[in-house]
Amino acid sequence: MTETTITPEDIAAAERLMGIAYTARERAQMTGNMAGQIDSAIARREVSLPNAAPMALRFDPRLPNFAMPAPEGVLRYSGSDPGPVPDNPEDVAFAPLTSLSAWVGSGVLSSRSLTELYLRRIEALNPKLECFATVMRKQALAEADAADALLKGGVYLGPLHGIPYALKDLFDTKGTITGWGAEPFQHRLPEADAAIVHKLRAAGAVLLGKSTVGALAYNDIWYGGRTRNPWNLNEGSSGSSAGSASATAAGLCGFSIGTETLGSITSPSQRCGTTGLRPTFGRVSRAGGMALCNSLDKVGPICRSVEDTAMVLAAINGGDIADRGSIDAPFHFDATAGIAGMKLGYLPEAFGDGATDVDRAALEAAKGLGIEVVEVSLPDLPYGALMNILYAEAAATFEELTLTDADDTLTWQDDGAWPNTFRKARFLSAVDHVQLDRLRYQVMLALDGLFAEVDALIGPFMTGPMLVASNFTGHPCLHLRAGFLDLGTRGMASLGAGKLTTGEADDAGRTFRVPQGISLWGRLYQEGPILNLGMALERALGVAGERPEFPA
């Protein structure tokens, strides 16, 4: 039982933290029965809950009027002839997955030679980029040899057969450290593989190693250092899928796997110039992956072209009883379908003062695709307030770090870092949390109304409410390179005040030519249309093939 006496003065001080005000009489009433409430909270904290323990409540992005899209036949890729394998190894390393798949599948390029090429590049460039936490050289070569043997025996497992990839170090790999980027877990050794490892192994993909993750899925600082942007080695790659985006942009893998709770696929893709696909919530199993926020975490591919992301999503899609948030949904993609008749929306304020010339040029390019492009709007709601849901879920997931002071071992301790965010979250109101969940439903209705008007939405990923809103509603987002800007070195990202920032550029120092991307959002479980639109926009913009030169 609680021995500390709760006084009216204690309650008055707490009111300031909660943003409420009671009368002296109301405070006096509470002092007599506050102890039991505190005792219940303390008793609950005595129960240790592992990271894998799910919430009883489950988020479902589907509204009552939702109808799951029906399967529409076989997946169809462009199938264009990539030509002969280039003599220059760098041309092979940076080739899109569509080309790599064609070369390996036809036998003109062995998985072994491709894997060895990427391993050599990792050895040469990882010291600069710090994008791999663990390189699984022996296992990768064994998997590559097995893939080649299957092909020689007439067995072809699909477009990812023999393709080397990087896996975000949030996903368990049996017998190989999965450290979540965080000091308290840097020696953590899983006993089984995550669901996505099984999926990609069944598809014939070759696991090169574990790409770095910002500690506990935030930013680009991890226990081994800071993952760098290949376009400017003086700045981080953003996060939290920091290593996945950096390695893919640097030509160290054929593709990579990332996760997103709020910007962790799109933000590093923006920084590093990769193409990131955040699928609809529930489409890809998270089983065997570190949980941050059960109602928000999503898994998706990071690649060098739009069609590549479709190939990867096809392999990792599918329901999984081991993930309470999993929703079984068909994935249809036809690279030849085109975009005729599509209606694309944009929020005018997203292309206002905060937008760049590249953002506006991307909108103009979309208008030149021969589709209808219209202005749309969203209801005036406090979208940023939903961030308190993220803070509460993340703080609950890693409560033990806060209560035992193990959070002090994390390298990054700034005001916007996890330790401070977790501590502050202890003062969030449970009543407000329930009300935020009700607000979340209103946001779901708002985006449902928007996508009743248009097939897709285009905009800068950080401008307007869409980064927050679409992550909380579970809508899919495709982020692709749109052009380049000359910017000074950018600082650390930050969480707080109801928003995510990605770091201000240094206006006084040297500038670097760095990528700038654009986002496309689509309807729930309808990634195919935004992928077709993304392919058309990618062709119109013509900037996807440029490679970083690793300036420092």
pLDDT at 497 over 80: no
* CATH number where 161 lies: 3.90.1300.10
pLDDT at 503: 86
Q: φ, ψ for residue 372 (rounded to 5)?
A: -80, 125
**223 and 370 housed in the same domain:** yes
**178 and 40 housed in the same domain:** no
Terminal-residue alpha carbon distance, the chain: 59
Catalytic residue, chosen from 168, 199, 210, 298, is 168
Cα–Cα distance between 390 and 455 in angstroms, integer?
28
pLDDT at 72 over 90: no
pLDDT at 539: 98
Q: Which residue has 């307030």 as its token pair?
A: 385
Average pLDDT over residues 190-215: 98
- Comparing 166 with 504, which gets the higher pLDDT? 166
Residue 87 lies in a domain: no
**110 and 40 housed in the same domain:** no
Catalytic residue, chosen from 244, 264, 285, 494, is 264
pLDDT at 80: 86
Domain that holds residue 453: 96-382+431-541
Average pLDDT over residues 490-501: 78
pLDDT tens-place string over residues 152-172: 999 999 999 999 999 999 999
pLDDT at 492: 85
pLDDT at 313: 98
Exposed, middle or buried: residue 283 (CB in 10 Å: 0-12, 13-18, 19+)? buried
**249 and 331 housed in the same domain:** yes
**13 and 137 housed in the same domain:** no
* Percent of the chain clearing pLDDT 70 (strictly above): 99
Residue 212 lies in a domain: yes
Residue 387 lies in a domain: no
Catalytic residue, chosen from 211, 240, 246, 326, is 240
Q: Which residues of 365-407 form beta strands (DSSP E)?
A: 372-375
pLDDT tens-place string over residues 282-317: 999 999 999 999 999 999 999 999 999 999 999 999
Residue 150: partners with Cβ closer than 8 Å, 6 or more residues away: 156, 157, 161, 204
Q: Are 477 and 521 in contact (CB under 8 A)?
A: yes
**181 and 325 housed in the same domain:** yes
Q: Is 168 a catalytic residue?
A: yes
pLDDT tens-place string over residues 425-469: 999 999 999 999 999 999 999 999 999 999 999 999 987 899 999
Averaged confidence pLDDT in the chain: 96
**21 and 118 housed in the same domain:** no
Reduced to 3 states (helix: H, G, I; strand: E, B; else coil), residue 434 is helix
pLDDT tens-place string over residues 107-149: 999 999 999 999 999 999 999 999 999 999 999 999 999 999 9
**38 and 157 housed in the same domain:** no
pLDDT at 501: 82
Instruction: Give Dmax (Cα) for the chain.
Output: 83
Exposed, middle or buried: residue 338 (CB in 10 Å: 0-12, 13-18, 19+)? middle
pLDDT tier for residue 2 given thresholds of 50, 70 and 90: low
**203 and 108 housed in the same domain:** yes
Q: Are 335 and 77 in contact (CB under 8 A)?
A: yes
pLDDT tier for residue 415 given thresholds of 50, 70 and 90: confident
Count structural domains, the chain: 2
